[in-house]
Amino acid sequence: MSPPSKAVVYDEQGPPDSVCKVKELPPVPIKDEDVCVRMLAAPINPSDINRIEGVYPVRPPVPAVGGYEGVGEVHSVGSAVLGLRPGDWVIPSPPSSGTWQTYLVKEQSVWHKIDKCTPMEYAATITVNPLTSLRMLEDFVDLKSGDAVVQNGATSIVGQCIIQLARVRGIHSINIIRDRAGSDEVKQKLKKLGADEVFTENQLEVKNVKSLLADIPEPTLGFNCVGGNAASLVLKFLKHGGTMVTYGGMSRKPITVPTSAFIFKDISLRGFWLQKWMSSDKAKECREMIDYLLSLTRSGELKYDMELCPFDEFPTALDKALGKLGSQPKQVIKF
């Protein structure tokens, strides 16, 4: 049997700060092919919040334990388990629901062993955001060194990862951020990560945005996670035949495309959803990419903002993730 577990449980869908409760769960049997993992850390992602709210397309039946990715240490293994032993670090790969708890029992096939030299908070968060960035850079346009991409939402973790993964490949990045106090500091921070250009939305209210690019070529690929005017600004930068990939809609405003962009620029609009990509028999390929991304975190070539929060302070971390306390880094629960 597993040890008893402390978990964030919701019995019904609704506002996370109302329906989530920290509860004690009884021990569960460890079958022959099961692995019992003591969770070390797990993030609060926007998709986790959407699952709890009941608005995400794929969600576990209630009652459910929150969380979808994370990192843990093997506590014990079933009698038929080979290749994993107590003390190994593992992540669910592809991700699997129920990571917001102290002990988690799932079949060995769920778990992927990783290098214990990886910083814990990066191991906990490597799949949902960084893998999205990697796949979007590789799946839509055949980019070569010297090419350029453009994105809004550049301060998000996906945005920060796109900047750094593009830099590793010799690809220029043009980045759009919201107009806000402290935007100069944000620009400097993104440029330290490798951003070639960073513009606020107001700076781009000009007729010809391409005149702002100096020696950077027109981008063939753009990324949109905001919608509304921020998506229109991505489209303004794209070259003839370019593609804009949408992976989020933070403003909750629709994407409006000028007819001329379709007719005269032959722009393509695509969408990306990591969960659909991972469900297409990609487990082995996914794990190889995860190992590559983790190696970049160990070498310092991939980094992003996070805040570790003790499990005992989960309500505060949830409030930060819900935006109640202003702009905050990604919240990562430390068990």
Q: What domains sit in the chain, N to C, each tagged with a CATH number?
A: 5-125+305-334 (3.90.180.10), 129-275 (3.40.50.720)
Q: What is the pLDDT of residue 235?
A: 95
> Which residue matches tokens 């301060």?
155
Contact in structure between 90 and 84 (CB atoms under 8 Å) = yes
In sequence order, the 6+-apart residues with CB closer than 8 A to the CB of 199 are: 174, 175, 176, 177, 212
List per-block mean pLDDT (blocks of 10 residues) for the chain, which spans 335 residues: 97 97 97 98 96 92 97 98 97 95 97 97 97 97 97 96 98 95 93 96 88 92 96 95 95 91 95 86 85 98 96 97 93 98
Nearest-angstrom CA–CA distance, 35 and 93: 14
Q: What is the pLDDT of residue 102?
A: 98
∠ CA 140-199-262, rounded to 5°: 40
Q: What is the pLDDT of residue 276?
A: 86
Buried b (16+ CB within 10 A) or exposed e, 263-279: eebebebeebebeebbe
Contact in structure between 124 and 31 (CB atoms under 8 Å) = no
Q: What is the pLDDT of residue 252?
A: 86
In sequence order, the 6+-apart residues with CB closer than 8 A to the CB of 72 are: 37, 38, 39, 40, 89, 90, 91, 104
Q: What is the pLDDT of residue 13?
A: 96
Following DSSP, what letter does each residue of 185-249 receive, concatenated?
HHHHHHHHHT-SEEEETGGG-SS-GGGG-TTSPPPSEEEESSBHHHHHHHHHHPPTT-EEEE---
Q: What is the pLDDT of residue 280?
A: 62
Q: What is the pLDDT of residue 137?
A: 98
SS3 of residue 18 by DSSP:
helix
Q: What φ, ψ does residue 6 adopt, rounded to 5°?
A: -105, 130
Nearest-angstrom CA–CA distance, 244 and 247: 10
Contact in structure between 174 and 213 (CB atoms under 8 Å) = yes
Q: How far is CA 2 from CA 29, 79, 104, 272, 290, in A?
A: 6, 14, 8, 38, 28
The residues annotated as belonging to the active site are 56
| pTM confidence score | 0.94
Q: What is the pLDDT of residue 277?
A: 87
Contact in structure between 80 and 123 (CB atoms under 8 Å) = no
Residue 144 tokens read as 């070569």
